[in-house]
Structure 1
Amino acid sequence: MNLLDLLFLIPTLGLSLAVIVPLTGVLVRFRANYNPKGLQLDNEGGAQPHTGPVIRSYFGMMKRVYRIEGWAGLYKGFMPTMLSTLIVTLFILTFLDTPKTRHGAYRPPETGILGSLVYSVAMMLISLPTAILTYRSITTPHKLPYLQLVDNLRILLTPTERRRPWILYLTPGLLAAEVFHIAIVVLGLGPLRRLLVPALSQRTEQGYGDISFIKLSIYLIVVIFSTAILTPLEVIATRLAIQRNHASSEYNSVSQEVEGDAEETAEFSGADEDVIGLRHEADPYLGLIDCAKRIVDEEGWMALYRAWWITLLGGIGSAFA
């Protein structure tokens, strides 16, 4: 990568992040919002209604974020998103790109289905810690100054996670949700796309080749059905990513540590109300299945399909990428 590429890369990334970060932040908050449908029990066993915010749509969440926190709230998570995007992009352009693709859209190496699966899982493992930090930055009620990295990490990570950062990979159910998502896309949608609409994978300067309307319709139907599986996995992954890991004598990553794991954090941002409700850390999700079951039992099955249309648009868009 030469200097001209770098000079072109920086403003391009800045412009794309200016659009993507607010949209992603709203999506993460909408899917992370804990909104139980039933009565909750207080410390004495008495029933009390849930008093957290009730947001029923993506754009309703966007309006709420802007009303309570303004533009600063919409751009929560900008710094970790920018750093992770810049690092991954530079890595790809430096080590994985070729002269033929450098000035166009990047495509992963053509290594077959299993090679694509390994490549996708590897990229997920590389980006997972920054994704966790980004999701937590978006959902925390605290202000996170852009240039105070150490203080921000003390808010976003527990002492256990700071001492043993690899425990982020052991967050119950998170890796399973991510791998299942990748497997469906790479092992399912990828081969079907090449089988039914191979012309979409062979775009030239003149455009696409001959595309069968029937086969394209079949593939789009498959994408619609895959959305029914991918959306719950994305919602579950969001919930698990923001669930902080605490230590215990048995090194159970979801148990509360008795001492030393409850340090004071920065003061609340000053808003009179929380943008979203979060599940109490003392009662964590225990894994992928447990998370799905509790979401359905506590919030209803529709909570698993929040912003399903974004997943659908992403699937349709990837077919023509």
Structure 2
Amino acid sequence: MLGFLDTIVLLLSLGFSLAVLVPLSGALVRFRAHYNPKGLQLDPEGDVQPHTGPVISTYFGMLKRVYKIEGVPGLYKGLMPSLVSSALIILFMIAFLSESNLRHGTYTAPDAGVLGTLFYSIFAMLVSLPQVIITNRAITTPAKLPYFNALYSLRILLTPTERRRPWILYLTPGLLAVQVVHIAYIVLFLRTLRMWILPEFSPNSFPRQEDFSAVRLVIYFIISLSSTAVLTPLEVIAIRLSIQRNHAAPEYNSVTQEEEGDAEYSAEYAGVEEDVIGLRTEREPYIGLVDCAKHIIDEEGWSALYRGWWITMLGSLGGAFS
């Protein structure tokens, strides 16, 4: 059980992390979710119309646009789902983690070999998937969501079918597949490769000089950098699929939203006449991982799959040498 002082430090660090990371991660989610087709489109009458939505080509351009249109509240969209999930983790740590474990940073995934880590990571993903979906939708919705009215917000973010049958979130086409592929690549490929190339790093000591090889370190460094080419498209596709809502109305496609009774009236930001991002129509949903990748390439170009690639690269490097 943690002491009072350690609990305060833990809570302060949580608050600081959320204050910094929520705007940054929110801008990344919006940047990757933004639909920016490169070609012409047809209007309801079948006439050719150019795309008239916003064009955002950089991550920092998205961050600036969010602040310009929605201000500080817009930067903190998705705060409450992130806060709730983080609070649950904090409560677990307070209840079950000792002071020495917290101070020495030994709360990590269990070291159960490659397959054990794979199963543990997939289980953790399954537990957190609804929170990820709700957070991504809260970030990308044009609606102004209240901080302390969860039921109202869920009526905005979820379709009636999803509210009646919450497990249908796990059946969102392609979402589980892309998450499992992402985890498998990191655990089965990168983790296994690290075990072969680099010496094991003990948390309390540095590798011995005779175990250290600059050549092997450079090789793994290059492989980690190259992994950005695989991981970034998977992360973009995961965000696109997570914001795609489900319904089961017989007269519509099974993965688009209901036309009637789908959402409640929601407040908008004062003085806002345009949305921060454009979203792809739900009348033509992605039907899987591969289908999503093909549509993104055909409609928006290869570059759309690599939005925020440098952020993924920094994360890969950080994970490689942690």
CA distance in 2, matches of 1:154, 1:319: 40
TM-score, normalised by the number of residues in structure 2: 0.93
CA distance in 2, matches of 1:51, 1:191: 47
CA distance in 2, matches of 1:223, 1:22: 26
- Provide structure 2 residue ranges, at least 5 long, that are not aligned to the other structure: none
CA distance in 1, matches of 2:246, 2:156: 13
Between stretches 45-54 and 263-272, larger displacement belongs to 263-272
1:46-85 residue CA offsets vs partner (Å, 9 max, x unmatched) = 1100011111111111111111111111111111101111
The DSSP-based 3-state class of the residue aligned with 1:101 is: helix
Q: Is the 8 A contact 2:40 2:49 kept in 1?
A: yes
Q: Which residue of 1 aligns with 2:125?
A: 124
1:114-167 residue CA offsets vs partner (Å, 9 max, x unmatched) = 110011011111111011111011101111110011110100001010000000
CA distance in 2, matches of 1:170, 1:61: 30
The DSSP-based 3-state class of the residue aligned with 2:101 is: coil
Q: Is the 8 A contact 2:3 2:99 kept in 1?
A: no
CA distance in 2, matches of 1:55, 1:312: 21
The DSSP-based 3-state class of the residue aligned with 2:103 is: coil
Equivalenced residues, count: 317
Question: Which amino acid letter does the alignment assign opposite residue 306 of structure 2?
Answer: Y
Change (3 A) 1:29 1:103: same
Change (3 A) 1:189 1:92: farther
Q: Is the 8 A contact 1:254 1:284 kept in 2?
A: yes
Q: Which residue of 2 aligns with 1:10?
A: 11
Q: Which residue of 2 aligns with 1:202?
A: 202
The DSSP-based 3-state class of the residue aligned with 1:91 is: helix
Q: Which residue of 2 aligns with 1:243?
A: 244
Aligned-residue CA RMSD (Å): 1.9
CA distance in 2, matches of 1:188, 1:92: 30
CA distance in 1, matches of 2:216, 2:304: 32
Structure 1 segment 40-119 matched on structure 2, within 5 A: 40-91=41-92, 94=95, 97=97, 101-105=101-105, 106-119=107-120
Q: Which residue of 2 aligns with 1:273?
A: 274
The DSSP-based 3-state class of the residue aligned with 2:295 is: helix
The DSSP-based 3-state class of the residue aligned with 1:266 is: coil
Change (3 A) 1:67 1:310: same
Between stretches 130-139 and 207-216, larger displacement belongs to 207-216
CA distance in 2, matches of 1:16, 1:122: 25
CA distance in 2, matches of 1:263, 1:82: 24
CA distance in 1, matches of 2:45, 2:70: 34
Q: Which residue of 1 aligns with 2:318?
A: 317
The reply to whether residue 307 of structure 1 matches residue 291 of structure 2 is no
